[in-house]
A and B are shown apart, each in its own frame.
Chain A
Amino acid sequence: MIQQLTPKKLVRRIIFALVVLAVVMFVCSRIGTEKISLKAVFSGTESNLNTDYLIFVKVRLPRIFLAAVVGAALACAGVIFQALLRNPLADPYILGISSGAGLGTIIAVISGFNWTLWGRSPIAVFAFAGALGTVWLVWFIGRWTGRSHVTGLLLAGVVVGAFFSAMIMFLTSISRSQEVYTTLIWLMGNITEENSIVIWFSATAVLAGIIALFYISPQLNVISFGHEDARTMGINTAAIQIVAFAVASAITAVAVSLSGLIGFVGLIIPHSVRLVLGPDHRQLIPLSAVAGAIFLIAADTIARVIIAPAQLPVGVVTALVGGPFFLVLLVKYSKKVGWIK
């Protein structure tokens, strides 16, 4: 009998990945410029605060959880955009999300808004709105251009992205404000400590998104062969595409509003999981989410400590560490399938 992915096998793999995630979380929470005694942490309470407790609970843990949420969201969105666009080079930012978020951020800074929404600054809210607004604009332009949907979408993404980037440049040049530059640096990808409402809210949103995407994963397998093919195999392609697109864009926008634009996670994590376990979306979606979380927690830990007391933007680490790691995997796979003799 031919081996097939069974629910049992999948659950076993997910549990294994979650155990690795827990271990990575624990190890990374112990790493930092300050040595922390776990005993002191556990003896600390809200009324009896000590430094170890404060650093561990208020600084390190939130940051680790945030990295996990962002990493899971980006890796999962990467899987979806690659499947929908049938393009291995697709990443969560391919349809103009990056420039949309950038434009939203610049507008927020220039407008000088001063309020918070669910604990989020105007910059984060505008980054979210800009990202989501742009990706929907691109989607509608893509649909409007007609039948060859994928090409239309990709071109619309490139053009809208270029247009918004030009607007960012324009606004940056005329504003001459130091704050704009600082914001642009934030946008290049940084994970910072957030309060617990933000973490819970975004974690719930991202987890709900991943579950929704997992639910349509068998259909995504078929759609990755082409939507005409998928339709004749009984898939309601229009509905699946729009659900997948909406969810992937939303979780990407959540990630961008939390941490700016962290590159590479959405591209290399899906490919790495695919190279190791194959392209079946039923396991690609949950396992990429966990792998993305692990990867970003590790990358952020390196960003925290490598030039301590200063910190690197985590986007620099994801590219520096992720790039070579991915190449090693690619070479291994190429040898296995005989591309390299």
Chain B
Amino acid sequence: MSAIIEIENLSFGYTTPQKILNDISFEVEKGSFLAIAGPNGAGKSTLLNLLCANLRLKTGKIRIGGKSVKSYSAKALAKKLAVVRQEFVPVFGFSVIDTVMMARTAYFGQSGFATKADIEQAEDALRETDTINFASRPLDQLSGGERQRVFIARAIAQNTDILLLDEPTSHLDLKHQAGIYDLLKQMQLEKGKTIVAVSHDVNLAAQYADSALLLASDGDYHIGRIEEVFSSRQIAQAFGVRVFEAEIGTRKIFLPIGKFAKHNE
């Protein structure tokens, strides 16, 4: 296995001298599933935006597929990694298929129209995400869960090795949360995609990911296999809250214990 994402001594702050990310180094293996967890404001989305070059890297190095992220053109990077953000309703009522086809824009020739191969790729993505049945419906008429599946279909149609996801299940109910993570796991296992998912739900992420990056708000971080990173001590430290730990089978789950929580005795 080789590293597809390499991050070396990465530091970043929106305002100097305050830094949200402080001297972070880690690698993501090709075909693996990394969960990035941490409290609000710890820099999870910032890290993701640095990876996809939406934020300009100032200190440190990011290499995607062995090449510095800075050396990629927008088009070339779009063929390496695809991004799924939090579910949202776009302003204009593009249909599901139009939305998924947009992922192929980086592959369009001069004509600005899709080729037969582009359409097939988009149809495959619709089939894989089980969204083909409402392919011609406008996005604003779908439920949040359906819409997020469409955004994942769009990322799949982009035909990249890496999928980056920023809180992909944040507005979804339990069933759709599991559905989205099942889909991501399927993409990892069947298509060999590398998945990097930001989530503040450590329990959900722990069920699916192979490894985790836990960012704390004080700039501290832990990286490694799930069971090494997600311990009640480290989670409590990162989130600044006491946690209750329970073991279910081979997995651990964590519950926050607030001041008035029933477990708080």
Using a CB–CB cutoff of 8 Å, the interface residues on chain A facing chain B are 1-7, 82-83, 86-88, 215, 217-219, 221-222, 224-226, 228-229, 231-237, 274, 278-280, 282, 337-338
Q: Establish whether residues B112 and A3, one from each chain, have CB atoms under 8 Å apart when the complex forms.
A: no
Q: Establish whether residues A218 and B92, one from each chain, have CB atoms under 8 Å apart when the complex forms.
A: no
Shortest distance in angstroms between A2's beta carbon and chain B's nearest beta carbon? 5
Q: What are 6 contact pairs spanning A and B, CB under 8 A?
A: A83-B92, A88-B92, A217-B112, A232-B81, A234-B106, A280-B98
Q: Establish whether residues B105 and A234, one from each chain, have CB atoms under 8 Å apart when the complex forms.
A: yes
Q: Establish whether residues A279 and B105, one from each chain, have CB atoms under 8 Å apart when the complex forms.
A: no
B65 within 8 A of A: no
Q: Establish whether residues B53 and A231, one from each chain, have CB atoms under 8 Å apart when the complex forms.
A: yes
Q: Establish whether residues A215 and B74, one from each chain, have CB atoms under 8 Å apart when the complex forms.
A: no
Which B-chain residue is minimally distant from A9 (CB atoms)?
Answer: B113
Interfacial chain B residues near A219, Cβ < 8 Å? 105
B108 within 8 A of A: yes
B85 within 8 A of A: yes
Q: Establish whether residues A221 and B98, one from each chain, have CB atoms under 8 Å apart when the complex forms.
A: yes
User: Of the candidates B90, B108, B122, which one forms a contact with A218 in the assembled complex, judged by CB atoms under 8 Å apart?
Assistant: B108
- Beyond A4-B101, A222-B105, A338-B141, whether A234 also contacts B119 by CB under 8 A is no
Question: 1/0 per position for B109-142, CB-CB distance to A under 8 A?
Answer: 0011110000100110010000000011010010
B interface residues, how many (CB within 8 angstroms): 43
A215 to B52, CA, bound (A): 26
Shortest distance in angstroms between B110's beta carbon and chain A's nearest beta carbon? 9
Interfacial chain B residues near A228, Cβ < 8 Å? 49, 54, 85
A289 to B82, CA, bound (A): 34
A3 to B101, CA, bound (A): 11
User: Of the candidates B97, B102, B135, which one forms a contact with A233 in the assembled complex, judged by CB atoms under 8 Å apart?
Assistant: B102
- Beyond A2-B119, A232-B52, A233-B158, whether A279 also contacts B101 by CB under 8 A is no
Interfacial chain A residues near B76, Cβ < 8 Å? 234
- Beyond A221-B98, A337-B138, whether A234 also contacts B74 by CB under 8 A is yes
Q: Establish whether residues A232 and B54, one from each chain, have CB atoms under 8 Å apart when the complex forms.
A: yes
A232 to B108, CA, bound (A): 15
A238 to B53, CA, bound (A): 13
B91 within 8 A of A: yes
Interfacial chain B residues near A225, Cβ < 8 Å? 90, 94, 99, 102
Interfacial chain B residues near A7, Cβ < 8 Å? 111, 113
Number of A-B contacts defined by CB within 8 Å: 103
A280 to B83, CA, bound (A): 22
- Beyond A4-B101, A4-B114, whether A234 also contacts B78 by CB under 8 A is yes
Q: Establish whether residues A278 and B141, one from each chain, have CB atoms under 8 Å apart when the complex forms.
A: no
- Beyond A1-B119, A222-B102, A337-B141, whether A235 also contacts B74 by CB under 8 A is yes
Given A2-B123, A222-B102, A228-B49, 5 other A-B residues pairs in contact with their CB atoms under 8 A: A219-B105, A232-B54, A234-B76, A278-B94, A282-B113
- Beyond A5-B113, A224-B90, whether A233 also contacts B105 by CB under 8 A is yes
Interfacial chain B residues near A229, Cβ < 8 Å? 83, 85
Using a CB–CB cutoff of 8 Å, the interface residues on chain B facing chain A are 49, 52-54, 73-79, 81-83, 85, 90-95, 97-99, 101-103, 105-106, 108, 111-114, 119, 122-123, 126, 135-136, 138, 141, 158
Q: What is the interface of chain B mostly: helix, strand, loop, or mixed?
A: mixed
User: Of the candidates A2, A83, A224, A235, which one forms a contact with B105 in the assembled complex, judged by CB atoms under 8 Å apart?
Assistant: A235
5 nearest A-B residue pairs (beta carbon): A234-B78, A234-B106, A279-B92, A234-B75, A232-B83
Shortest distance in angstroms between A227's beta carbon and chain B's nearest beta carbon? 9
Interfacial chain A residues near B138, Cβ < 8 Å? 337
Which A-chain residue is minimally distant from B97 (CB atoms)?
Answer: A2
A226 to B54, CA, bound (A): 12
A222 to B107, CA, bound (A): 13
A282 to B102, CA, bound (A): 12
A89 to B126, CA, bound (A): 32
Interfacial chain A residues near B90, Cβ < 8 Å? 224-226
A226 to B82, CA, bound (A): 15
Q: Establish whether residues B103 and A233, one from each chain, have CB atoms under 8 Å apart when the complex forms.
A: yes
Interfacial chain B residues near A278, Cβ < 8 Å? 93-95, 98
Q: Establish whether residues B113 and A6, one from each chain, have CB atoms under 8 Å apart when the complex forms.
A: yes
A224 to B93, CA, bound (A): 11
Shortest distance in angstroms between A331's beta carbon and chain B's nearest beta carbon? 16
Interfacial chain A residues near B95, Cβ < 8 Å? 278
Interfacial chain B residues near A274, Cβ < 8 Å? 92-93
Which B-chain residue is minimally distant from A216 (CB atoms)?
Answer: B112
Q: Establish whether residues A233 and B78, one from each chain, have CB atoms under 8 Å apart when the complex forms.
A: yes
Which B-chain residue is minimally distant from A232 (CB atoms)?
Answer: B83
User: Of the candidates A218, A224, A232, which one forms a contact with B91 in the assembled complex, judged by CB atoms under 8 Å apart?
Assistant: A224
Shortest distance in angstroms between B195's beta carbon and chain A's nearest beta carbon? 15
A233 to B77, CA, bound (A): 8
Shortest distance in angstroms between A258's beta carbon and chain B's nearest beta carbon? 29
A55 to B73, CA, bound (A): 58
**Could you say which of B52, B90, B92, B158 has the most chain A C-beta atoms within 10 Å of its C-beta?**
B92
Interfacial chain A residues near B101, Cβ < 8 Å? 4
Interfacial chain A residues near B97, Cβ < 8 Å? 2, 4
A233 to B119, CA, bound (A): 16
A201 to B99, CA, bound (A): 38
Interfacial chain A residues near B79, Cβ < 8 Å? 234
Interfacial chain A residues near B98, Cβ < 8 Å? 221, 278-280
Shortest distance in angstroms between A294's beta carbon and chain B's nearest beta carbon? 23
Interfacial chain B residues near A279, Cβ < 8 Å? 92-94, 98
Which A-chain residue is minimally distant from B123 (CB atoms)?
Answer: A2
